[in-house]
Structure 1
Amino acid sequence: MDEVEPRGPEDAPVRVVSLLPSATEIVCALGAERTLVGISHECDHPETIRGLPVLTRSRVSASGTSLAIDTAVRAVVRDALSIYTVDEAQLAALSPEVIVTQDLCEVCAVSLDDVRSAVARLAHRDAVRIVSLTPTCLDDILADVETVAAALHLHAQGHALRRALAARLDAIAQRAATAPTRPRVVSVEWLEPIMLGGLWMPELIAHAGGVAAGARAAQPAPTVTPEDLARLDPEVVLIKPCGFTLERTLEERGLIARAIQASVSPRARVYVTDGNAYFNRPGPRIVESLEILAACVHPELFDDLARKHAAVIHPLDAPR
């Protein structure tokens, strides 16, 4: 076990606002949940943080269809508006010393520019440190653990957590390497239009013993047509739209059948899983994301993980 660094006055617990679900999970995994004084409207794990003040909201309703949500998002962006707003009055009242945000996707969470603007209007702005995360690959996700830990003066804990997560990822990759086949895998990031999982998803697929089809590691999610999907000829399709739970995704079962299942071979194995809790949240649960993926790519090899995550793995039969 790593020795915990001594804590001096400069290492006293800080007041942290996390405007990113993955960062909130990192803070809690470091054992520093007590430092959180505010969160975003999307932060929901662990359950013990749900009573904290919520500092953001979305201008786009998440209750519509995939196409309706995409259309609304594009309209907001076209009008040069931010998709998310920050409650500046509440932010000022909470007097945070550290604010964790992101600079990767303005659709996924409040933007760095919006956070900077809000902080610039705080009376104690010079005492606020903004920590912005921009993960595009698995190494970045692991590095962000130490970045957040350093901001909280928890260097040893950050190093230990990073090593533990990396070891679990490597253990699954080593098991997957023994598989006799490497099926072509497509991960679906959005349903209409169809977007494929980019960034760290191709790496996760490789770790799970598959070959990523249609997307490149560390690159944004590409948009494809049903005809493109047919040409990719995937053997495994993992459907996990960004921000959608498994149950929310299954509400669009008809669209999935028409646009995705009808475009791939009837022999392809198609699964729906929880894109909100896993996969699209680059934090500690990226390991559980890999476990779910491995269970779908090689169910015969990872039957233990298939049982562990049975509640969030939903196989779809070929449409008739």
Structure 2
Amino acid sequence: MNHMRIRAMIVSFAVCLLATMNVNAQKRIVSLNGAVTEIVCALGFEKSLVGVDVTSTYPASMKEVTKVGHNRNISAEPVLALQPDLILATDNFIQPAVIDQFKNVGVKTIQMKQEFSVAGTKKLITDVAAALNVPEKGTALIKQLDKEQKTLHVQSHPKKVLFIYARGAGTMMVAGKETPLDKIIALAGARNAANGFNDFKPLTPEALVTANPDVILMFDDGLKSMGGVDGLLKVQGVAQTNAGKQKKVITMDGQLLTGFGPRVIQAVQELSTKLN
């Protein structure tokens, strides 16, 4: 009987050891999405990240992690050069041919669906936690998000908000429907002034006149690239909008505003407060 007990204990120990090894097997992780990176860090795997895309700006420690390019134009070589054990990505940006390259060389690659909503964020947390073999940590993080959501106070704003992406006056785009900006504006209780098209399109004076926003929303660094509000007002058509006349321009951190990661409730609350 004692022999059988000892054998059972050994088997039990081996199972636990293998489970632990499985959890810690991913020593070198590359994340190709800012929200995924935030989730990986929130789940306790920050030190396992050896490479991230340029949208991975939070937490601040990601500044020290090797950048492999923007998730819209990732190529396989700089990622594989980091010798990752696991590559995490979403299915909305990375080219299928690049994903095939990762898999063809035997690197475990997991793509997850990213939906720009609070429910989508919770699903992404569940998927990342599953990929890292820590489902219980994912559940805990979602419960934390649930608590934040219960304390969220959003006032309905009749204001029309136009998001302008800028990298100086030479590169300016507006966000239409089915974009993260469109979704976050709606969650904050306002409405997107650019509603006649999907995705992004170049900013034109005609588009500004048609949209006639009450508020212009930009990334912090985007407005800075324009030389501040005064520089933005020099762009043809801006001064003629309701937002331009009242100098109603608000800014937020880019990844916080559009990431739809674990800080999504914080982002909604901040935007709603600034609109109010």
Normalising TM by the smaller chain, what interval? 0.7 to 0.9
| 1:184 has 2:160 as partner | yes
- Give the aligned partner of residue 38 of structure 1: 51
For residues 41-190 of structure 1, what are the structure 2 equivalents within 5 Å? 41-54=54-67, 56-57=68-69, 83-87=73-77, 91=80, 94-96=83-85, 98-105=86-93, 110-120=94-104, 122=105, 125=106, 128-172=108-152, 175-177=153-155, 181-190=157-166
Deviation of 1:146 (Å): 1.2
Deviation of 1:251 (Å): 6.7
- Give the aligned partner of residue 8 of structure 2: none
Amino acid at match of 1:117: Q
> 1:182 & 1:103 partners in 2: Cα distance?
34
Q: Which runs of 5+ in 2 are unaligned?
A: 1-14
Deviation of 1:208 (Å): 2.0
- Give the aligned partner of residue 224 of structure 2: 247
Q: Which runs of 5+ in 1 are unaligned?
A: 1-5, 59-81, 299-320
> 2:225 & 2:18 partners in 1: Cα distance?
47
- Give the aligned partner of residue 9 of structure 2: none
* TM-superposition CA deviations, 1:251-294 (whole Å, max 9, x none): 7963553245324121362223332x322323223333223311
For residues 189-204 of structure 1, what are the structure 2 equivalents within 5 Å? 189-190=165-166, 192-196=171-175, 198=177, 199-204=179-184
Amino acid at match of 2:241: V
Structure 2 CA distance for partners of 1:92 and 1:228, relative to 1, 3 Å: closer
Larger-gyration structure (1/2): 2
* Contact 1:246–1:274, Cα closer than 8 Å, also in 2: no
- Give the aligned partner of residue 279 of structure 1: 257
- Give the aligned partner of residue 318 of structure 1: none
Deviation of 1:297 (Å): 1.0
* Contact 1:104–1:135, Cα closer than 8 Å, also in 2: no
* TM-superposition CA deviations, 1:83-121 (whole Å, max 9, x none): 443335x6266241x21123323xxxx53432322441x
> 1:273 & 1:252 partners in 2: Cα distance?
14
| 1:227 has 2:190 as partner | no
> 1:231 & 1:216 partners in 2: Cα distance?
10
Aligned residue for 2:195, secondary structure, equals coil
Work out the number of aligned pairs and report it: 251
Deviation of 1:222 (Å): 4.9
Structure 2 CA distance for partners of 1:43 and 1:206, relative to 1, 3 Å: closer
* Bigger helix fraction: 2
- Percent identical residues: 22
| 1:258 has 2:238 as partner | no
* TM-superposition CA deviations, 1:123-158 (whole Å, max 9, x none): xx0x61323443344432331111111101121221
> 1:31 & 1:246 partners in 2: Cα distance?
34
Structure 2 CA distance for partners of 1:153 and 1:280, relative to 1, 3 Å: same
Per mean C-alpha deviation after superposition, the further-off stretch among 7-16 and 23-32 is: 7-16
- Give the aligned partner of residue 291 of structure 1: 269
Aligned residue for 1:28, secondary structure, equals helix
> 2:115 & 2:186 partners in 1: Cα distance?
18
Amino acid at match of 1:12: V
Aligned residue for 2:75, secondary structure, equals strand
Structure 2 CA distance for partners of 1:225 and 1:99, relative to 1, 3 Å: same
**Among 184, 191, 215, the residue aligned to 1:211:** 191
| 1:20 has 2:9 as partner | no
Structure 1 stretches of 4+ with a deviation exceeding 4 A read none
* Contact 1:26–1:145, Cα closer than 8 Å, also in 2: yes
Deviation of 1:171 (Å): 3.1
Q: TM-score, normalised by structure 1?
A: 0.65
Aligned residue for 1:134, secondary structure, equals coil
> 2:73 & 2:62 partners in 1: Cα distance?
24
